[in-house]
Amino acid sequence: MSTIRKLNISAIRNILQTSLQLSPNINLFYGENGSGKTSILESIHLLASGRSFRTSKTDTLINNDETTSVVFAELTNGHQIGLSRTRRQGHQLNMDNEKQRNWDKVARELPVQILDANSFVLVEGGPKARRRFLDWGVFHVEPLFVENWRKSRKCIAHRNFLLKQAGVDSDQLGVWDLELCLAAREVDQARSRYFEQFLPIFEQVFRSLAAPIGDQLSLTYSRGWDSDRDLAEILVENQQIDHKYGATQSGPHRADIVIRAGNRLAIETLSRGQQKTLVSALKIAQGMLLTQTLDRHCIYLVDDLPAELDRGNREKVLSQLVGLGGQLFVSCVDREALQLGLPNSPEVATFHVECGTITA
């Protein structure tokens, strides 16, 4: 198991410079709103994935008075990972002093999950959020998935380019259709295998967290095209429709996890509190499956949990997260309110955050 032992942050939002010695178990950051505690979690997420969980514009993370931001982590297994970002030259990612072309190796070394207010888009948002959630899990347990996923994305991009032309070149379109179908089959099969493993774990976690609901909750994987038909046939049949919209309407890029309560979509039936519990169960189940499959633990970033769950549900979620045995980074305004919900747990490192300054 690998955890973050040391974390250095420079010029991320209002954090000018800090160096933190971390617990392999629970790391609790408390302070007033706007103090910078969420920026610590955001820095870890940025290092692990290249993305912020708060904004799509990562350049805005750089402190207003600086030109370069840096996040550096030293792991307990000896790996060192560093990310620098400048306003003009973009980013540079290094692992053990070796420049990385993409985030594949780093993401596998730092499997990070975020649980915050924006996580509830999994229920109330569109398919993209649920597809990204699904693909996070598939990426970690299916070694060839990311290669086939990238092939499918490339094929769809070229196909859409042709569809936007005034006159569609059917021969060229046919070439990309063939490549897309081959990649789509591999992507779909990897997703299907993962979902089959994930579903019973999720159901177990959800039952342990949630009060009974009126209708039975169900999750269904939708691959992005008719399950009873061949994608190649659909692409040919829908060529005129695709041309009209300038975009491919069927394929792995349309996949989704359909969440229902009875015969209705969960978003139409579940209360806000039930939705929060549902999302927590989804995230926890992914961490459990990662451990079962790879014998390693997920790193959880939990931002202001007391604001998202009542005390009873908060205690249940925290108990599940602590029980996973991984490293937790938890932020809150009221330290006492959160600590009351913590079960008897391993080592807790506590940090106070005020105006971008962090003290242990």
Cα separations in angstroms, 97 against 100, 111, 124, 340:
9, 20, 41, 42
Identify which of 262, 277, 294 has the alpha carbon closest to the alpha carbon of residue 197. 294
Instruction: Please answer whether residues 284 and 205 qualify as being in contact, where contact means their C-beta atoms are separated by less than 8 angstroms.
Output: yes
- 142-194 confidence digits (pLDDT tens): 999 999 999 999 999 999 999 999 887 888 999 999 999 999 999 999 999 99
Give strand ranges (E) for 225-305: 256-261, 264-265, 299-303
Q: Which amino acid is at 76?
A: T
Residue 1 is predicted with a pLDDT of: 60
CA distance 8 to 40: 10
- pLDDT-derived band at 341, boundaries 50, 70, 90: low
Q: Give the pLDDT confidence of 123-149 residue by residue, as tens digits.
A: 989 999 999 999 999 999 999 999 999
**90-95/80-86 β-pairing:** antiparallel
Average pLDDT, integer, range 320-325: 90
Residue 346: the pLDDT is 66
> What pLDDT shows up at residue 237?
94
pLDDT of residue 316: 87
Out of 199-203, 245-249, 337-341, which region has the weakest mean confidence (pLDDT)?
A: 337-341
Checking DSSP bridges between strand 348-354 and strand 26-30, what pairing results, if any?
parallel
| Model confidence, pTM | 0.93
CA 186 to chain centroid, in Å, comes to: 22
Task: Give the pLDDT confidence of 281-294 residue by residue, as tens digits.
Answer: 999 999 999 999 99
| Beta bridge pairs of residue 257 | 221
Domains of the chain: 1-111+299-360 (3.40.50.300)
Question: For residues 147 and 258, what is the distance between their CA atoms, to the nearest angstrom?
Answer: 25
* Percentage with pLDDT > 90 across the chain: 75
| 189 Cβ neighbours under 8 A, 6+ residues apart | none
The string of pLDDT tens digits covering residues 299-314 is 999 998 766 677 788 8
**Structure tokens given for 38:** 């969420």
